[in-house]
Chain A
Amino acid sequence: MNRSWNFNRRSVLKGLGTSGALVAFANVMNPTLAFARQSGVLHVGLDGRDMGTLHPHVATAAQDTAVISSIFNGLVRYVPGKVSVEAIEPDLAESWTVSGDFKQYSFKLRHGVRWHKGYGECTSEDVKFSLLNVRDSVQSTFRPIFSNIERIDTPDKYEVVIALKTPDPVFIAVLSGWQGGYVICKKAVEALGDTYKNQPVGTGPFQFEEFRPKERVSLIANPDFYRGTPKLKRIIYSYIPDQTARRYAFVQQEVDIIKGAANEDWLSEVINASKDKPLVDLLGPGRNVVIHMKRSVPPLDNLKIRLAIAHAINREDYQRFFGRVFEPNFGPIPLEYFGAIEPNEIPQNLLYKHDPDRARQLLAEAGFKDGLKLETVVSERGDYLGLAQIGKQQLSKVGIDLKLNVLDNASWVAAIIKEKKGSLVWSTAARYPSAETLIREFWICAADVTKPTGVQGFAEYCNAKLDTAYQTAIAAADPKERSKYFKQVQTILLEDMPSVTLGSLATPVLRQSYVDLGYQVKEGTKVLSLPYMYYFTEKTNV
Chain B
Amino acid sequence: MSRVIVTRIVFMLAAIFVVLTALFFGIRLGVGDPTIAIQGTYATAESLQALREALGLDKPLWEQYLIYMAGLLRGDFGVSLQNGQPVLTQILAVVPYTFDLTIIGLLIGVVLGVPLGFVAAVRRNSKLDHVIRVMTLSGVSVPPFIMGYFLIIIFVIGLGLFPVAGGGELGEPLSRMRYLFLPGLSLGLIMTSYVTRLARTTVLEILSKDFIRTAKAKGLDQRTILVRHVLRLSLVTIVTLVGLYATITIGSSVVIETVFSRPGVGRLIVGAVAQSDYMVVQGTIIFYAAFVGIVNLLVDLTYTIIDPRIRYE
Chain A residues in the interface with B (C-beta under 8 A):
27-29, 31, 33-35, 45, 49-54, 58, 60-61, 138-139, 141-144, 194-195, 197-198, 211-216, 238-242, 244-246, 248-249, 251-252, 254-255, 273, 408-411, 413-414, 417-418, 427, 429, 452-456
Say whether, besides A58-B38, A214-B94, A455 and B267 are in contact (CB < 8 Å): no
Q: Which of A35, A50, A142 has the most CB of B within 10 A?
A: A50
Taking a contact as CB atoms under 8 Å apart, the answer to whether B274 and A49 are in contact is yes
When the two chains form the complex, which single residue of B82, B259, B270 contacts A52, counting CB atoms closer than 8 Å? B82
Say whether, besides A144-B44, A242-B261, A138 and B82 are in contact (CB < 8 Å): no
When the two chains form the complex, which single residue of B46, B165, B177, B270 contacts A240, counting CB atoms closer than 8 Å? B165
When the two chains form the complex, which single residue of A241, A252, A408 contacts B164, counting CB atoms closer than 8 Å? A252
Additional 14 contacts, C-beta under 8 A, given A213-B268, A214-B262, A455-B44:
A31-B160, A35-B160, A50-B82, A50-B83, A138-B53, A195-B85, A197-B84, A211-B85, A214-B268, A248-B156, A254-B163, A410-B36, A413-B40, A454-B44
| B50 to chain A: closest residue by CB | A138
18 contacts between A and B (CB under 8 A): A28-B177, A31-B159, A33-B178, A52-B275, A60-B42, A138-B47, A138-B53, A197-B84, A198-B84, A212-B93, A240-B261, A241-B258, A242-B261, A245-B164, A248-B156, A252-B164, A418-B33, A454-B45
A282 to chain B minimum Cβ distance, whole angstroms, is 23
Chain B interface SS verdict (over half): helix
Q: Flag whether B264 is at the interface (Cβ < 8 A).
A: yes
Taking a contact as CB atoms under 8 Å apart, the answer to whether A34 and B163 are in contact is yes
Taking a contact as CB atoms under 8 Å apart, the answer to whether A248 and B152 are in contact is yes
When the two chains form the complex, which single residue of B33, B178, B258 contacts A414, counting CB atoms closer than 8 Å? B33
Cα-based distance from A427 to B90 in the complex (angstroms): 33
Q: Flag whether B181 is at the interface (Cβ < 8 A).
A: yes
Interface contacts (Cβ under 8 Å), in number, total: 173
| B167 to chain A: closest residue by CB | A215
Taking a contact as CB atoms under 8 Å apart, the answer to whether B263 and A142 are in contact is no
Interfacial chain B residues near A408, Cβ < 8 Å: 274
Taking a contact as CB atoms under 8 Å apart, the answer to whether B84 and A194 are in contact is yes
Taking a contact as CB atoms under 8 Å apart, the answer to whether A60 and B263 are in contact is no
Q: Flag whether B222 is at the interface (Cβ < 8 A).
A: no
When the two chains form the complex, which single residue of B42, B45, B263, B270 contacts A213, counting CB atoms closer than 8 Å? B263
When the two chains form the complex, which single residue of B46, B178, B275 contacts A452, counting CB atoms closer than 8 Å? B46
| A450 to chain B: closest residue by CB | B45
Q: Flag whether B43 is at the interface (Cβ < 8 A).
A: yes
Q: Flag whether B245 is at the interface (Cβ < 8 A).
A: no
Interfacial chain B residues near A216, Cβ < 8 Å: 166
Q: Flag whether B174 is at the interface (Cβ < 8 A).
A: yes
A237 to chain B minimum Cβ distance, whole angstroms, is 12
A356 to chain B minimum Cβ distance, whole angstroms, is 32
| B155 to chain A: closest residue by CB | A29
When the two chains form the complex, which single residue of B45, B84, B149, B174 contacts A244, counting CB atoms closer than 8 Å? B149
Interfacial chain A residues near B47, Cβ < 8 Å: 138, 141, 143
Q: Flag whether B157 is at the interface (Cβ < 8 A).
A: yes
Q: Flag whether B39 is at the interface (Cβ < 8 A).
A: yes
When the two chains form the complex, which single residue of A52, A251, A409 contacts B38, counting CB atoms closer than 8 Å? A52
Q: Flag whether B13 is at the interface (Cβ < 8 A).
A: no
Cα-based distance from A494 to B175 in the complex (angstroms): 59
**7 residue pairs, one from A and one from B, having the closest CB atoms:** A138-B50, A214-B263, A215-B263, A49-B271, A249-B165, A240-B261, A213-B90
Interfacial chain A residues near B48, Cβ < 8 Å: 418
Interfacial chain A residues near B44, Cβ < 8 Å: 144, 452-455
Taking a contact as CB atoms under 8 Å apart, the answer to whether A414 and B36 are in contact is yes
Say whether, besides A254-B165, A429-B41, A455-B42, A417 and B36 are in contact (CB < 8 Å): yes
Taking a contact as CB atoms under 8 Å apart, the answer to whether B264 and A214 are in contact is yes
Q: Which of B42, B53, B162 has the most CB of A within 10 A?
A: B42
Interfacial chain B residues near A52, Cβ < 8 Å: 38, 82-83, 275
Say whether, besides A31-B160, A254-B163, A413 and B41 are in contact (CB < 8 Å): yes
Say whether, besides A61-B40, A141-B42, A453-B46, A245 and B259 are in contact (CB < 8 Å): yes
Taking a contact as CB atoms under 8 Å apart, the answer to whether A410 and B274 are in contact is yes
Interfacial chain A residues near B167, Cβ < 8 Å: 215
Q: Flag whether B260 is at the interface (Cβ < 8 A).
A: yes
Q: Flag whether B161 is at the interface (Cβ < 8 A).
A: yes
When the two chains form the complex, which single residue of A34, A138, A141 contacts B54, counting CB atoms closer than 8 Å? A138
| B43 to chain A: closest residue by CB | A417
Q: Flag whether B51 is at the interface (Cβ < 8 A).
A: yes
Taking a contact as CB atoms under 8 Å apart, the answer to whether B32 and A410 are in contact is yes
Q: Flag whether B301 is at the interface (Cβ < 8 A).
A: no
Say whether, besides A214-B267, A414-B33, A248 and B157 are in contact (CB < 8 Å): yes
B177 to chain A minimum Cβ distance, whole angstroms, is 5
Q: Which of B37, B41, B181, B261 has the most CB of A within 10 A?
A: B261
Cα-based distance from A34 to B41 in the complex (angstroms): 40
B119 to chain A minimum Cβ distance, whole angstroms, is 23
Q: Flag whether B102 is at the interface (Cβ < 8 A).
A: no
Interfacial chain A residues near B33, Cβ < 8 Å: 414, 418
| A49 to chain B: closest residue by CB | B271
Interfacial chain B residues near A273, Cβ < 8 Å: 157
Q: Flag whether B79 is at the interface (Cβ < 8 A).
A: yes
Q: Which of B40, B53, B257 has the most CB of A within 10 A?
A: B40
Taking a contact as CB atoms under 8 Å apart, the answer to whether A414 and B93 are in contact is no
Cα-based distance from A454 to B48 in the complex (angstroms): 12
When the two chains form the complex, which single residue of A27, A213, A414 contacts B174, counting CB atoms closer than 8 Å? A27
Interfacial chain A residues near B43, Cβ < 8 Å: 141, 417, 455
Cα-based distance from A198 to B82 in the complex (angstroms): 10
Q: Mark B248-285, 1 if CB is under 8 A from A, else 0.
A: 00000000011111111001101100111000000000
B143 to chain A minimum Cβ distance, whole angstroms, is 14
A244 to chain B minimum Cβ distance, whole angstroms, is 7
Say whether, besides A50-B271, A53-B82, A453-B46, A34 and B162 are in contact (CB < 8 Å): yes
A55 to chain B minimum Cβ distance, whole angstroms, is 8
Interfacial chain B residues near A53, Cβ < 8 Å: 38, 82-84
Cα-based distance from A49 to B257 in the complex (angstroms): 11
Taking a contact as CB atoms under 8 Å apart, the answer to whether B271 and A417 are in contact is no
Taking a contact as CB atoms under 8 Å apart, the answer to whether A252 and B156 are in contact is yes
Cα-based distance from A61 to B42 in the complex (angstroms): 11
Cα-based distance from A45 to B165 in the complex (angstroms): 9
A460 to chain B minimum Cβ distance, whole angstroms, is 14
Cα-based distance from A213 to B163 in the complex (angstroms): 19
Q: Mark B71-84, 1 if CB is under 8 A from A, else 0.
A: 00000000100111
| A447 to chain B: closest residue by CB | B44
